[in-house]
Structure 1
Amino acid sequence: MQYFAVFGNPIAQSKSPAIHQMFAQQVKLNIDYRAILAPIGGFETSAAEFFAQPHHIGANVTMPFKHDAFSMCDVLTNEAKSAQAVNTLFKTAEGLLGHNTDGLGLVQDLIRQQVTLKGQRILVIGAGGAAKGIIAPLFAQDIHSLHIINRNEQRAKELVAQFVSGQPNWKFTAGGFDSVKHDQYDVVINATSLSMNGEVPDISNHIYEETTCIYDMVYRKEPTAFLKHAHQQGSRNVSDGLGMLVGQAAKSFELWTGQVVNTTPVLETLRKQIQG
């Protein structure tokens, strides 16, 4: 038996235990995966106690502990370094390895939906932690360019500056919500939490008209406010972030077990459960 967990606060709402159990059933592995409520300010102690036990192999980390997890790791993957946050922990001979599978999960879900990324112009709305974790994985798909916009324009420009010094060949730009009045993009990704409050980013509606995909990184039982608005403007290929959730979990599972899983049946089961 191998033991895994997800740490968060709150944590009762987590879909991770169900997702990983379905992965394990696919590849006929016997695992124990549980949700652990870590106290605010006590994540590192909780995680250390978990990994001190034999056969406790890996863990996922959700809000608000991704930066705490980053700080406690002995080894970091390039994805974790890029995001400056860790959502996956793995006990190795070199110590605790920290990985970030969020951006990989997004890319995996887009590819699953047959969305072309190579050579495409990408617009990312929002410049917080969610956006930061997807930038490098998107550029790894040989996209043409990425423009990131934020209500606070300075924050978006600071995020670009963090990356371009080490990646001078990236076409990576930033601006405020009004910087896309006349531009067109192939893929538009909402990395804000506005949809959780039923709100829509205050950007020009022409953005939605000629895209190949509109993607909201959050998900709800019903289509999010962002996706509803995009559909009203003429977008037909719209997607919420449930596939990203399953995709990032699959990348964690692969790291821990070496097993590649099929995300589609897991996503379909989860969608039915959420919609009731």
Structure 2
Amino acid sequence: MTYAEVIGDPIAQSKSPTIHNFWIEKLGIEAEYRATRVEPEGIATYLAERQKDPNWVGCNVTMPLKQMVQPHLHSVEKPAASVGAVNTIYPAFNRLLAGRNTDVAGFLEPLHRELDRSHYFRMARVLGTGGAARAIVSGLAAEGFTIVLAGRDANKARAILAELAPNGEHHAADIAHFAEPTDFAFDDREGCCDLIVNASPLGMRGQPPLVFDWSHAPPGSIAYDIVTDPVSTGFLQNAEAAGFRTIDGISMLIGQAAAAFELFFGHPAPRAHDDELRALLTK
């Protein structure tokens, strides 16, 4: 039986098996999707073994491996090559391993309705400087956003912006800046698109909370948290309490998984069942 899997360390919290096996069951195909713990020092051995297994059709890659697997691959496709983070690996021609990043498409998917509109200004405050943040910065820059990238190391944030979005007037900041209230008077934001994105693990179960004071968010902002456990994070709860629209991490997770699913199993994900899948993931 063909199989795919998700790798990372830790891996028990991953919702990817639930998503892919749900779609496999809906389509009635002979396949399965697993979760496999792979430590950073075991990447080379894991990939060498899987490459030889004719039943293995690929894997998704989660923390902390997204920025570690590229040297072990034969080829890396855009946007993964520029982002520097791979979240999907599959055996291409002659089972040579290829890497792809579906996080960009998955992140942007729930924003399509907003991005299809014209705006005279788009700004995103992105919190975090890891592999997911790199994908998000790349995707938002391509959509015309001015980006404020915040992390514990502002110099790292500045380097990411210079690498991935060199042509815009973007800004780097210390993430602690957003923990304190501001009395900044925002202008009339009608016709603008403003995002506040948690692209860090902060707020994830077992991690410290993300401290963000919502006085830093312009009126009409959308709060977007890529954390999936818990789904309703403190960041999103506080955003809702402050009157902002929210997007949770399940939206991105389903979007990026759909792109990988078709690559692995040769069938489009049955997205007509998204409501049922979301209920399964959030119960």
Same fold (TM over 0.5): yes
Query: SS of the residue aligned with 1:21?
Result: helix
State the 1:208 CA deviation. Answer: 5.4
Q: Match for residue 123 of structure 1?
A: 125
Which residue of the partner structure matches residue 234 of structure 1? 243
SS at match of 1:78: coil
Answer yes or no: is the 8 Å Cα contact 1:2–1:55 preserved in 2.
yes
Q: Which runs of 5+ in 1 are unaligned?
A: none
> Which of the numbers 211, 215, 220 marks the counterpart of 1:201?
211
Q: 1:272 aligns with which of 256, 260, 279?
A: 279
The 2-side partners of 1:182 and 1:162 are apart by: 31
SS in 2 for 1:115: helix
Give, in whole Å, the separation in 2 of the partners of 1:176 and 1:80: 26
Gaps of 5+ in 2: none
Matched, 1:76 2:72: no
The alpha carbon displacement at 1:46 in A equals 1.5
SS in 2 for 1:67: coil
What is the TM-score with the length of structure 2 in the denominator? 0.82
User: 1:87 Cα deviation (Å)?
Assistant: 1.2
Alignment of 1:248 onto 2:247: no
CA distance in 2, matches of 1:243, 1:222: 10
Aligned counterparts of 1:75 and 1:125: Cα–Cα separation in 2:
30
Q: Normalising by structure 1, what TM-score?
A: 0.84
Please give the alpha-carbon distance, in whole angstroms, between the structure 1 residues aligned to 2:84 and 2:104.
12
Q: Deviations over 1:21-67 (max 9, x none)?
A: 22234444321222222244112201221221113221112222223
| More displaced stretch, 147-156 vs 98-107 | 147-156
Instruction: State how many pairs are aligned.
Output: 267
Q: How does 1:167-246 map to 2 (within 5 A)?
A: 168=167, 170-177=168-175, 178=177, 181=184, 186-196=194-204, 197=207, 199-203=209-213, 205-207=215-217, 209-211=219-221, 213-221=222-230, 223-235=232-244, 237-246=245-254
Where 1:219 maps in the other structure, the secondary structure is: coil
1:116 maps to a residue whose letter is: L
Q: Secondary structure at the match of 1:45?
A: helix
Q: Deviations over 1:87-132 (max 9, x none)?
A: 1111011621001111211112333xx3336643222122222211
Give the secondary-structure state (helix, strand or coil) at the position aligned to 1:41. helix
